[in-house]
A and B are shown apart, each in its own frame.
Chain A
Amino acid sequence: MSAGAATLRRSAQTFGFLRKEAIDVGRQPRLVLMLVVGPFLILLAFGLGYRRSPDPYRTLFVTPAGTLFASQVQNYAQELGKYVRFAGTTEDAAGAESRLRRGDVDVVVEFPADPLGTVLSGHQASVGVLHTRLDPVEQTAIDFAARLAVDSINSQILASIVTQGQQAARPLGDVFSTATAAVHSVDSAVAAADQAGAVLAAKDLRAQVGQLRSVLERTMGIAGQLVDTAPGSLAGPASTASTTLGQLEDKVAALQSTLSGGALDTARQQLADIDKTMTTVHENFDAFTTVQADVLVRPFVSQVTAVGDGDNTITDFYAPAAVVLLVQQFGVAFGAVTFVRERSLGTVEMYRAGPVSAGPLLLGKYLGYFVIGGVVAALLVTLVVQLLGVPLHGDPAAVTVVLGLVLLASVGLGFMISLMSRTDTQAVQYSMIVLLASLFFSGFFLAVERLAYPARIISWLLPATFGITLLRDVMLRGISLRPSTTLALCAYTVVVVLLSYLGTRRLLAAR
């Protein structure tokens, strides 16, 4: 028989398998409907039902009698309104814990009995947080909220102290005016070439500067220290003012010396420098007293911006991953039962006896599942974009490439499962294990980067891992396919296709 006839036969076989698989799946409309509509409805329900912010924790505060927290605690709770719903205060720690165990409240916050004493003894005062949550994610959320709450309380305390310092410093404005007037007196005497008058005025100026420094240090003592030691301090204006005043005193002393020597021209230059320094000190002082205390104690705020469309909803985030996961599951599930089913139907026996070779058989099946899976994937993407409003910032062609590769790799993985399995049940169980592994290791729930290295090997054995990374990039970030990940998925696909081919040859070989 000619090579042409053999080629025609192979083509007929390939098309025969394609047609057979397509009709076989098409005869199960409910299955196809479930494959498309089912996952879409689940995504829709998830999107509608998911609340971005959890309910605030009902929080009961335990404040020992006589502590400074007793009167402030409700204010603290209000500030943390996103996380905390104020459920009252009590002095009874044991009673509060009982209420927690009964489920009347979600969290109990216990303030220390003598925080001031603890702090003055050089230790941090501890705020206890009790809860009954088992979910590690919720535990982390409570831990996070507790840290935020304590930071907020610390900031409130700092701001209060700074405010007191600012109020105490305000009368210094008069002292500055007097000192400035003294500078002008010296200047006038120098201009009039009145050396004696200038020496006298300079003496008065030195006394004013000394007083200014003394009062400033006294009134701004605590606040100035707080500002200086605050994280990322902006070289605290109060501290700067204090330092500069020290320098100013030195300059006035030098001026006195110059005036005593009669060098009025030099004195005029020094006086200009002193005037300039005085202005700087005044400005620093004004800055300290006018900047809001809250800004001084918390000078930085974070501003987070995601590349691409940062305003993703939870549905936006999960939809690409869900599409990839479903496409993978389609390929794995159908691939996994195909040979097992053919073995149980006895058709493999027919292939062995007939002129069927592994190539057309595998290619026909691949094409069959690829066509049906492609339609399912296209419908899913259309539904999530059009009906759920999930963004598609990237190139739709890139989406096609990603899902096509995921489908090919998944069908190949399914074929391998099928060739290894002895029964339908075994094949279904293996494909369920793949699904379960994908939920945990593919980046669907947890980023792959959060897994320790040996566990990541499992991740990269799953087509979904590559697909989720690529599809999120394309759909949500709007960036093109990462070459390394795309090539890795291509290599994965080639390997599983090759292994499936070898397995199919073995299946058809004489025993």
Chain B
Amino acid sequence: MDVVTCHHLVRTFGSQTVLDGVDLTVAPGTILGLIGPSGCGKTTLVRTLLGIIEPTSGDVRVLGTPPTKFSSAQRTHIGYMPQAPALFPNLSIHNNLRFAASLYGVRRRGRRRRLNQLLDFVGLADDRRKLAGAASGGMQRRLALAQALVPDPELVVLDEPTAGVDPILRARFWSYFRDLRHAGRTLVVSTQYVGEAVDCDVVAVMCAGRIVAVEAPEALRRRAFGGDIVELSAERGWFTREEVDKLATEPYVISTYRTADGVRMVVEDAATDTPRLLGVLQNADVGPVTVNQITPDYDEVFVAIMREADAASCAVPA
């Protein structure tokens, strides 16, 4: 059974539609990345999944139950890390964690061991006595993650956990997330960092309250451009227009565009189509040619998908 299912989920605030017919499923033991620009509705979707916000219409179920009808017991199966760490500055790191444990009713027996495990997991064991208010931003983020994990939840919902975090700590966080996934947990992680898509099992791209793509990262990349990208460079330094036009007429070539270094082409399958392209160019007497498969970064993928979805509403320059 899917951990999360959303069907035509709509949420409006006054006249503003923040979630506009969201359809989404999250399978158990996966990391779903919710990626989208600021204000696209990621946090509203996360809060709806947690039952903090009621949907205006549509159906949403988390662990088989509509979130607004969660019992207290059901809520203990979900861990939540809000966008801004919800910590008490006058309490030590350990006491903040202990307070979270009391909220989830973690039994006294085994509590100490559980908290120590979590502090070790997020690397805060040596700083347990430090006041949360005196901890660095990174420490606070790690503590917030540990709080979310206190009840040993089946589903962990993380709202932009890496926002404003340095790249080293971001990598560490994703390492934590993968560990949790390996332990059988399901994670919903919203992020503005498109590059983090590569760490997810499934990526849902959001734009203006809609989910415009839900794919595995690699499939998303292919979907963005319609195929694989190869870059052709001639030793002589250029391709004539006729040469490029000839390549574009090949049936396996999807699109062609020039770059500073040569020509990029989107082809159906780089592995099979590269030799065919080289054959065409040899016949055209272009001279020595180098062909490289290009793996575009996810920023480019994201921009391409946004353009495809709705350039105006997603505010992506054409």
Contacts and interface: CB of A to CB of B under 8 A. Distances in A.
Interface string A5-38: 1101110110111011001100110000000000
A353 interface: yes
Nearest to A341: B88
A16 B84 contact: no
A349 B82 contact: yes
A82 interface: no
Interface residues of A, number: 31
A357 B104 CA distance: 11
A102 B181 CA distance: 88
A19 B97 CA distance: 13
A20 B88 contact: yes
Given A6-B72, A353-B52, A24 B88 contact: yes
Interface in A50-68: none
Residue from B52, B105, B107 having most chain A Cβ neighbours under 10 A: B105
A350 B52 CA distance: 10
Contact of B86 (A9, A10, A349, A355): A349
13 contacts: A10-B105, A12-B106, A23-B91, A24-B90, A24-B91, A28-B90, A349-B52, A351-B103, A353-B82, A355-B105, A357-B72, A510-B51, A510-B53
Q: Is the interface of A mostly helix, strand, loop or mixed?
A: helix
Contacts of B53: 510-511
B102 interface: yes
B89 to A, nearest CB: 8
A346 to B, nearest CB: 4
Interface in B215-230: none
Interface string B61-104: 00000011001110110101010111111110001001111111
Interface residues of B, number: 37
Contact of A20 (B51, B82, B91, B106): B91
A16 B103 contact: yes
A353 B50 contact: yes
A16 B99 CA distance: 6
**The 9 residue pairs across chains A and B that have the minimum distance between CB atoms:** A16-B102, A9-B105, A1-B73, A355-B72, A346-B86, A355-B75, A27-B90, A353-B80, A353-B50
A279 interface: no
A345 interface: yes
Nearest to A364: B102
B201 interface: no
A136 interface: no
A363 to B, nearest CB: 13
Nearest to A8: B105
B54 interface: yes
Nearest to B46: A353
Contacts of A20: 88, 91, 95, 99
A144 to B, nearest CB: 54
Interface string B273-297: 0000000000000000000000000
A455 B80 CA distance: 50
